[in-house]
Each structure stands twice: as C-alpha cells, then as structure tokens.
Structure 1
Amino acid sequence: MLPGMDLEVIDKGHVTPPHPTPLLFVHGAWHAAWCWDEYFLDYFAERGYRATALSIRGHGASRTAKSLRTCSLVDYVADIRSVAATLGAEPVLVGHSMGGLLTQKYLESRAAPAGVLLASVPPQGIARFLGRMTRKHPWLMAKSMATGKSLRFFGTAQLAREHLFSTATAESDVRRHMARLNEESQRMTVDALVLRLPKVNRVTTPLLVLGADDDAMLTRDEVHATARAYGTEAEFFAGMGHDMMLEPDWKAVAERIDTWLGQRRL
C-alpha cells in the first residue's frame, strides 16, 4: 500500500539519465496493478525506467470507503492524481482499456510529458461496445444490468479468452489471469457511456495509440477514432487480443513503447 493512502502501488526501478521521467501504468476495468506486474514493470525497470502501477480504489488490494458500484470516473482519476503526485515529476501515463479512458480524462487538466493508450476506450465512450456485448450475449447483459455485476462476462475460461485473450495464450494463463479479475463499478459504466467523456480539445499531451488485431472488446475503427481525435496514427499488433500486456507477444508492445519514449528522451 502507498504510505498514507489506501491504494495498492507496485513501484519498480529508478529514473536514470537516459530515462528521467517516471512511468505510471493504469489498468482497465476488472483488472488491477497485477496485470502490469506480470511482465511490463520488470521490463521497463530493467531498462532504466521507474515503472509504477496502481490499483484504483476497489481493485486489487486498494480499498474503497464506499460501495464499489458507486465509484465514479472522477474517483478513479483522483486516485491517479494521488499516485502521480508522489513520483517527484509528472509521469508518462500508460493506460489500457478503461485505463486509457481515465488517462484521457487525467490529461484534460494535466500536461504530461507523453501518454500511451493500449486498446483504449475511445473518446466517444463505450456505447458501441455495450451494443456489441448485448448482441453477442443478451442474457449475460440482461443479468449484468439487473444486478450491476459485470464480472460474469469473464465467468468461464471460454468467456475470458473470448473477450481478453488470443488463441495463442495458454489455457493455464487464461485461467490464472481470469482468477484475479474483480468486479467493476456500475457508476463507472454510466460515466464511460455518456456522463464523463473526454474533452479532446483540452488534451495537448503527445500520445502513442496502440491496438490489437484480434481484440474482441474494441474494434479497429474505435482505435483509429482514438488516434484521429488526438492527431496521430494508430498502430496495431497482429495475432493479439485485448489484454496486450499479458499476451504471449507482450514484449513487442513493450519494445514499441520503449522506442517511442526513447525518441522523446523520456
């Protein structure tokens, strides 16, 4: 836990002359800091970065003073700000999925040195995603809406693979990662649908936008839309599912981020 806070933070490595800017990794819905600790944190720490990942409130070992289902996007962004403030310098944010949306919201009011969006929710929000989930799994969606519990979309190894992983991911890894997922906030779903969408014109931070060719959660069009909104081009990784940082070819993603940051002397 972070001293003086109820947030779980995994902090590895140190800033070095080649990489003087800390990295802050922001997980997506149903995940926590563990998804970055699997591979990415050690990879970047070994290359001279300070690599830090947080679990937003109600995720992983992070506590929440109120019901998780009522935690909002504003709450989650406040958690990112709290951790960023402890790093000694404004960090580069690396956000995955919902964490990409949180990163966009954070950058509305903070001029970070750079940001990376992995399989990120687009600025237009999750309306199209919810529509696809409803068509694919109407009964699961109906139960999720009625109970406020969406973890059921990953309730079996088959469902977890369908939504998060490629066919190349070992069954043992799918089951291991699936067991660490936790429930998500119902309020956050509403915020990401319509209430708290990013104000793109306020974001001035340069962004690297990365997508996965076999992503079942977000379409290529949505990743392209994110890149266009921020004046850049999307890059895609073949044969990779939504959880890009946990896929067998995760190192290709990490190497691309490392190269991009190095070009900016970060």
Structure 2
Amino acid sequence: MLEVIDKGSCSDAHPVPLLFVHGGWHGAWCWDEHFLDFFADAGYRAVAMSLRGHGTSPTDKPLPRVSIADYIDDIRSVADDLGGSPVLIGHSLGGYTIQRYLEDRTAPAAVLVGSLPPSGVLGAALRVWRRRPWMTVHSFNDPTLVRFLRTSALAREYLFCADTPEVVVQSCWHRAGPESIRAAMTEPMFRRVDTERVRTPMLVLGAVHDGFVSVRAVRATARAYRTEPEFFDMGHNMMLEPGWADVARRIHTWLQSRDLVSHAV
C-alpha cells in the first residue's frame, strides 16, 4: 500500500480532488508541511502520495531498479482510487512523471512546480556538473543519489534560497531520502515527453533561484504546452520556502478559473 496523506473533502465549489506528487529524495511529507492544510481549508480534498521507495511506501524491488514506469503506475493507482481524474500537481521529478503519465491519460488540469522540462534531466545535470564536476562524477556512481544532498549546505544550494531560514533547510535535509538513479537520471536523460499527446491544461510555475531547474528550462516547458510560465523569487522547494503561500494562492486562483465542475459530473 502506497503512503497517502488525505485531508479535506470535495465541496460544491471544488468537486475535483487534488493529487500532489513529490520530486526526487522527497515524499508526501513535503506537501503536508503547508499545502495540504491550505487547500483543505479552501474547500478541496487534498491528497499527497509517496511514490514507491519514498516516505513509508514500500517497493518490491531495489530502489535503484525502480523506473519512471513504476512511478507512473503509482500515480495511476492513487488517481483511480480518487475516481480516476484528479487535478495533478507535481514538483521537480514528480512534474516530469506527471507529464509522462498524461501522454496516455487525461486530467482536468495539471500544475508543474519547479518541474523538469519535457526534454528531461540533461539540462539540470549539466548545471550541477558545471558547478561541482567531481561531486557529480561520484554522485552518479551512487545508485541512490544521496551524495547530492550529503550535507545541509548542498541541500540549501540545490533546493533553497540563500536566505531561507536554516531550520527549514535542516528539516528538509533530515527527511530527504534515497532516490532511484534509473528513474531520476538514466531514463529522463534519454526519454523526452511526447508533448503532442498531452492535452491537459497546464499551469507552469518556476523559481528564479532554483538550483536544479533553470529559468530557461521552465520557459521551455511552458512553450511546449502553449502557455506562459510564472516565476517566484524562491528556490527549488517552492512548497517549503517562506513564500510557499504565494505559490499556493496562485494555484488556487488558477484552479478557480478552470471549469472543473463539469469534470466532476
């Protein structure tokens, strides 16, 4: 059984549930810090899942062998339990996985938060390589990729703004876990999202100080889905930094502008 944190309930104003999908090294806990309560209080059913091998979700094979297809199956399983068509909100690798999921399935709407672009992880990998080439070599030899975040200073550099309170960085760093190198690096390095097959309306959000996903990558994602990107003065973990409420309010406003009632009928 996958770990699912489920808060709030659907309302007449917001009849479609929201499904939050975390990125690499994280779990459902990253959405439970702020976002689930925010959206539950706003009248939504807000659900965060932990992909297999993350949080308390089990995996039936070694984590380094877990694939994007496995993560897609996890999203499909939870989405089906929610009635089949929740709004999907994904961060980082979770955003990329949602895009891949939507090649074959539909959703009433999707939100990409600091997401890897349709082209995959190569751009982010090159950014890290240029800054810390030797660390990158050693990290790629680690099938769980934990060396990327082996210190809280690295967690701050990649995941947060320079002025994020240390207590926030430390909390995330202590909770971050291993990641599948196959799902996070190998497959997204060579497999693009077939964006022509994705028909779901997208809100594309990025962070100016993101240590992984560049502003250029966020713009490329928005172009691929024929929309305009929106940026926040934040780091990669937009759901945990002090400005998280601005991000949540923007998602809420955008969802209100969509005709989601008809999707619940």
Residue 138 of structure 2 corresponds to residue 169 of structure 1: no
Residue 62 of structure 2 corresponds to residue 67 of structure 1: yes
% identity of equivalent residues: 53
Could you tell me whether the CA contact under 8 Å between 1:98 and 1:121 is conserved in 2?
Answer: yes
Mapped to 2, the partners of 1:124 and 1:187 lie a distance apart of: 16
Mapped to 1, the partners of 2:120 and 2:40 lie a distance apart of: 32
Query: Match for residue 26 of structure 1?
Result: 21
160-169 or 134-143, larger mean C-alpha shift: 134-143
Cα deviation for residue 89 of structure 1 reads 4.5
Query: Match for residue 205 of structure 2?
Result: 210
Q: How does 1:229-248 map to 2 (within 5 A)?
A: 229-238=224-233, 240-248=234-242
Mapped to 1, the partners of 2:68 and 2:20 lie a distance apart of: 17
Residue aligned with 2:81, SS: coil
Mapped to 2, the partners of 1:9 and 1:67 lie a distance apart of: 21
CA RMSD of aligned residues (A): 1.0
Mapped to 2, the partners of 1:8 and 1:197 lie a distance apart of: 28
Mapped to 1, the partners of 2:111 and 2:144 lie a distance apart of: 29
Cα deviation for residue 176 of structure 1 reads 0.9
Cα deviation for residue 142 of structure 1 reads 1.4
Query: Match for residue 2 of structure 2?
Result: 7
Could you tell me whether the CA contact under 8 Å between 2:20 and 2:48 is conserved in 1?
Answer: yes
Query: Match for residue 259 of structure 1?
Result: 253
Query: Match for residue 96 of structure 2?
Result: 101
Query: Match for residue 126 of structure 1?
Result: 121
Q: Tell me the amino acid that sits aligned with residue 132 of structure 1.
A: R
Of the three residues 106, 109, 113, the one matched with 2:108 is 113
TM-score (norm 1): 0.95
Mapped to 1, the partners of 2:2 and 2:259 lie a distance apart of: 30
Mapped to 2, the partners of 1:197 and 1:227 lie a distance apart of: 15
Cα deviation for residue 197 of structure 1 reads 2.3
Cα deviation for residue 113 of structure 1 reads 0.3
Could you tell me whether the CA contact under 8 Å between 1:10 and 1:37 is conserved in 2?
Answer: yes
**Partner deviation per Cα, 1:14-47 (whole Å, 9 max, x = no partner):** 0000000000000001110000000000000001
Structure 1 portions without partners, runs of 5+: 1-5
**Partner deviation per Cα, 1:117-141 (whole Å, 9 max, x = no partner):** 0011000111121112122112221
Q: Tell me the amino acid that sits aligned with residue 134 of structure 1.
A: W
Structure 2 portions without partners, runs of 5+: 261-265
Residue aligned with 1:51, SS: strand
Mapped to 2, the partners of 1:157 and 1:214 lie a distance apart of: 17
Query: Match for residue 156 of structure 1?
Result: 151
Q: Tell me the amino acid that sits aligned with residue 191 of structure 1.
A: E
Could you tell me whether the CA contact under 8 Å between 2:96 and 2:117 is conserved in 1?
Answer: yes
**Partner deviation per Cα, 1:210-250 (whole Å, 9 max, x = no partner):** 00111111111100000000000000012x00000001010
Displaced runs of 4 or more, over 3 A: none
203-212 or 141-150, larger mean C-alpha shift: 141-150
Query: Match for residue 195 of structure 2?
Result: 200
Cα deviation for residue 143 of structure 1 reads 1.3
Q: Tell me the amino acid that sits aligned with residue 245 of structure 1.
A: M
Of the three residues 242, 246, 250, the one matched with 2:244 is 250
Q: Tell me the amino acid that sits aligned with residue 188 of structure 2.
A: A
Residue aligned with 2:60, SS: coil
Would you say how many aligned residue pairs link Structure 1 and Structure 2?
Answer: 259
Residue aligned with 1:197, SS: coil
Residue 131 of structure 2 corresponds to residue 136 of structure 1: yes
Mapped to 2, the partners of 1:54 and 1:116 lie a distance apart of: 16
Cα deviation for residue 155 of structure 1 reads 1.3
Residue 220 of structure 2 corresponds to residue 225 of structure 1: yes
Residue aligned with 1:17, SS: coil
Q: Tell me the amino acid that sits aligned with residue 231 of structure 1.
A: R
